[in-house]
A and B are shown apart, each in its own frame.
Chain A
Amino acid sequence: MPAWLAPALFGLQVAGTIGQGRNTARASRAKIAAAKAQLADNETARKELNIATAQQVEASEVDYLSSFENAGFKSRTLAQELDRNYEAGSGAQGFSFSGQAAEENRLGLEQVNENFTNTRRDILRTLDKTQADIFAFDLKEKARLRAEDTKLKAQIGMASKTNSTMSALGWDII
């Protein structure tokens, strides 16, 4: 082996090692930049999520009110119909049937009232379910983003250990 070959090969090896260190450092810096950008994106996502949650809650309440009003309107219309029929019936059949008609009218109104109460309960349950889903989604997403942040911060911390050629090669103690 010629005398020059060993130093030349060693030189190549050193150059290769340093080159590898430089590439690692470059990759680490790119990783840090990407992680920081993702952290900023997560922050934006969190703000968007707050807005979306508030809007979804508002929308569910609007739905609730609308359904409640519809149910109330229907019940009132039905009660008015029952009253109209009762008054018309009692006038035509005379007093002898008025007690029975009054009883039937009362029972009818009770039924309308009970139906309205049930419908209202259903609407409230729906509202509760919708809002529970919204808040649960909000919580889940925030937890996911928080975990994602933790991972990204750890990634930045690790990549910071190799973001220069010397540190990537473990020579930063010199």
Chain B
Amino acid sequence: MAKVKSARRRAQESIANYQGTMYDAMANEYISNLEQDDYVRKGQNISDTTKLVAQAGKLIDNFYQQKEENVEFEGYVADLEGATGEKFKYEHASFLDVLSGKNKFGEMFEEKMTFGGEKVTKGQIEARAKLLDPETIDRSLSSGWKYGDETKALSGTQKIGYKAGALMDREVSNTVGKMIYEGQGFQAWSTRMAVLDDLMQSEQNAVNNWFDKDEQKLFYQQKDIYEAETSTEAQKDAASDELMKMYKSVSEEVKGTRRVQWDDIKSFIEARESETNYDIGKNYTDDGKLASYDIGPYQINTNWIMQGDGSFELTQDKTPYALYDNINEYLDTITDFETFEDSSFFGEREGFYDKTLSANPLKNIDWADLKGDRSIFKKYRNEEVIDPFETDEEGNKRKEALLKAGLINEYWEVY
């Protein structure tokens, strides 16, 4: 039989039950608040994600737009290069450059562009390209530059840069010019026809009688044929051959003497070749590509100081060219300055990780990239710029001229 509860107990239980319903109500209110917060959170998530996706979409759109603009700009560069034969150079300061102290923070991602040695902006390139006559554009002559490709100087070529600078020195240029004149001959100069013309018309010729009347007559006949628009190609070739014989005869040594000595002809060459000691000319191949530079008062070709393909280092049968060696031996004594170490990479070797070195991944890491004087944090900060002409006004003028021509970079390294 069930135990009968007292009235008091029933009353107390009722109060407790009432209290219990209050607790339940409070719990339900709490749950409802939680659910409400959850809906708000979900809404916020949807809103945030939508914003993020929209932003990503805009970014992708901008990216493609930027890419299109870059491709367009590459086209302008190609057009300009194709029409003028000049080369476009592009450099930009990377985050790593700033980190290593090569560039200042404010220069981060800064783009530097030069065209034919002249500092230009993107706008200038675009404007110039748009003003071109389409008939003059030959895109096959362009370098095929792609946006972002940096034009980097060749590491370890500082010595060649110094030699290029030295060719602007009158005395050095005179010595090298004489070596070329006597070694290769007068025909080495592209202005030979004009120089010979000047020489024949000169008072010195009247005094020294380098060329008699018959030779002068022959020269002007051949010159006229060569220059006449009405001449056929065959006639021009024949005239060219005749003229070439005459050029060779100018510096040719016969029985120990030359018809015209270097000291007698050099002022004529200089007058035709340059206006100042700092003149830099450019030579192009038949298809319009930049082949070499001419430097200084006698416009000495840079192939005399460059190395490898295209230079005069080797003869056609791949044997050392004695004249080239002699010139460089001489120039080596003139440019006996301290040079850079190879600075094309950070650390001990190129790249940060080389998986071919060891099975141990830790041994494949070039730790010198991260610590030591060649690390990405210190390399440029600790490195004093080696510039033998830093305080030399004359040296700086030469450097300026070479920089402007786009032959060297700020560290005298050649491109």
Task: Determine if A121 is an interface residue (Cβ-Cβ < 8 Å).
Answer: no
Known A139-B13, A140-B20, A155-B34: A6·B52 in contact at CB below 8 Å? no
> Which A residues, 125 to 160, have Cβ-Cβ distances below 8 Å to chain B?
128-129, 131-133, 135-140, 142-144, 146-148, 150-151, 154-155, 158
Contact flags (1/0) for A51-72 with B, using CB distance below 8 Å?
Answer: 0000000000000000000000
| Contact call A147/B34, Cβ cutoff below 8 A | no
| Contact call B49/A140, Cβ cutoff below 8 A | no
Minimum Cβ distance to chain A for residue B147 (Å): 11
Q: How far is the CA of A169 from the CA of B48 in the complex (A)?
A: 9
| Contact call B17/A139, Cβ cutoff below 8 A | yes
Task: Determine if A95 is an interface residue (Cβ-Cβ < 8 Å).
Answer: no
Task: Determine if A92 is an interface residue (Cβ-Cβ < 8 Å).
Answer: no
Q: How far is the CA of A4 from the CA of B49 in the complex (A)?
A: 23
Minimum Cβ distance to chain A for residue B334 (Å): 44
> Which A residues, 1 to 47, have Cβ-Cβ distances below 8 Å to chain B?
2-4, 6-7, 10, 13-14, 17
Chain B residue nearest to A159 in the complex (CB):
B34
| Contact call B31/A150, Cβ cutoff below 8 A | yes
| Contact call A143/B56, Cβ cutoff below 8 A | no
Task: Determine if A161 is an interface residue (Cβ-Cβ < 8 Å).
Answer: yes
Chain A binder among B3-11, B225-233, B250-258: B3-11
Task: Determine if A162 is an interface residue (Cβ-Cβ < 8 Å).
Answer: yes
Task: Give the interface size bracket for A toward B.
Answer: 35 or more
Chain A residue nearest to B62 in the complex (CB):
A6
| Contact call A17/B12, Cβ cutoff below 8 A | no
| Contact call A143/B34, Cβ cutoff below 8 A | no
Which one of B13, B45, B109 contacts A136 once the chains associate, using CB atoms below 8 Å?
B13
Minimum Cβ distance to chain A for residue B33 (Å): 10
Q: How far is the CA of A132 from the CA of B21 in the complex (A)?
A: 19
Chain B contacts for A128, CB-based, 8 A: 6, 8-9
Q: How far is the CA of A106 from the CA of B66 in the complex (A)?
A: 121
Chain A contacts for B28, CB-based, 8 A: 150
Minimum Cβ distance to chain A for residue B209 (Å): 70
Contact flags (1/0) for B48-63 with A, using CB distance below 8 Å?
Answer: 1100100110010011
> Which B residues, 77 to 122, have Cβ-Cβ distances below 8 Å to chain A?
109
Chain B contacts for A2, CB-based, 8 A: 109
Minimum Cβ distance to chain B for residue A34 (Å): 15
User: Interface residues of B: mostly helix, strand, loop or mixed?
Assistant: helix
Which one of B8, B11, B23, B48 contacts A17 once the chains associate, using CB atoms below 8 Å?
B48
Task: Determine if B38 is an interface residue (Cβ-Cβ < 8 Å).
Answer: yes
| Contact call A154/B23, Cβ cutoff below 8 A | no
Minimum Cβ distance to chain A for residue B57 (Å): 11
| Contact call A135/B13, Cβ cutoff below 8 A | yes
Q: How far is the CA of A138 from the CA of B17 in the complex (A)?
A: 11
| Contact call B23/A143, Cβ cutoff below 8 A | yes
User: Interface residues of A: mostly helix, strand, loop or mixed?
Assistant: helix
Chain A residue nearest to B41 in the complex (CB):
A162
Q: How far is the CA of A162 from the CA of B62 in the complex (A)?
A: 34
Q: How far is the CA of A132 from the CA of B17 in the complex (A)?
A: 13
Task: Determine if B130 is an interface residue (Cβ-Cβ < 8 Å).
Answer: no
| Contact call A154/B30, Cβ cutoff below 8 A | yes
Task: Determine if A89 is an interface residue (Cβ-Cβ < 8 Å).
Answer: no
| Contact call B27/A143, Cβ cutoff below 8 A | no
Chain B contacts for A131, CB-based, 8 A: 9
Chain A contacts for B13, CB-based, 8 A: 132, 135-136, 139
Which one of A133, A143, A144, A171 contacts B12 once the chains associate, using CB atoms below 8 Å?
A133
Q: How far is the CA of A20 from the CA of B296 in the complex (A)?
A: 66
Chain B contacts for A10, CB-based, 8 A: 55-56, 59
Chain B residue nearest to A174 in the complex (CB):
B49
Q: How far is the CA of A170 from the CA of B35 in the complex (A)?
A: 15
| Contact call A151/B59, Cβ cutoff below 8 A | no
Known A13-B55, A171-B49: A132·B12 in contact at CB below 8 Å? yes
Minimum Cβ distance to chain A for residue B14 (Å): 9
Known A17-B52, A139-B16: A147·B9 in contact at CB below 8 Å? no
Chain A residue nearest to B70 in the complex (CB):
A3
Q: How far is the CA of A117 from the CA of B17 in the complex (A)?
A: 34
| Contact call A13/B52, Cβ cutoff below 8 A | yes
| Contact call B34/A154, Cβ cutoff below 8 A | yes
Chain B residue nearest to A168 in the complex (CB):
B45
Known A6-B62, A146-B23: A132·B11 in contact at CB below 8 Å? yes
Q: Measuring CB to CB, which residues of chain A are less than 8 angstroms from any residue of chain B?
A: 2-4, 6-7, 10, 13-14, 17, 128-129, 131-133, 135-140, 142-144, 146-148, 150-151, 154-155, 158, 161-162, 169-171
Q: Measuring CB to CB, which residues of chain B are less than 8 angstroms from any residue of chain A?
A: 6, 8-9, 11-13, 15-17, 19-21, 23-24, 26-28, 30-31, 34-35, 37-38, 41-42, 45-46, 48-49, 52, 55-56, 59, 62-63, 66, 109
The 22 listed contacts between A and B (C-beta, < 8 Å) are A2-B109, A4-B109, A6-B62, A7-B59, A10-B56, A10-B59, A14-B52, A17-B48, A128-B8, A132-B13, A136-B9, A139-B16, A139-B20, A143-B24, A146-B20, A147-B20, A148-B23, A150-B27, A151-B27, A158-B34, A161-B38, A162-B41
Task: Taking A131-B9, A139-B17, A146-B23 as given, write out 15 further A-B residue pairs in contact, using a Cβ cutoff of 8 Å, ordered by the A residue number.
Answer: A7-B59, A13-B52, A13-B55, A17-B52, A128-B6, A128-B9, A133-B12, A136-B9, A136-B15, A138-B16, A143-B16, A143-B17, A146-B24, A151-B27, A170-B42
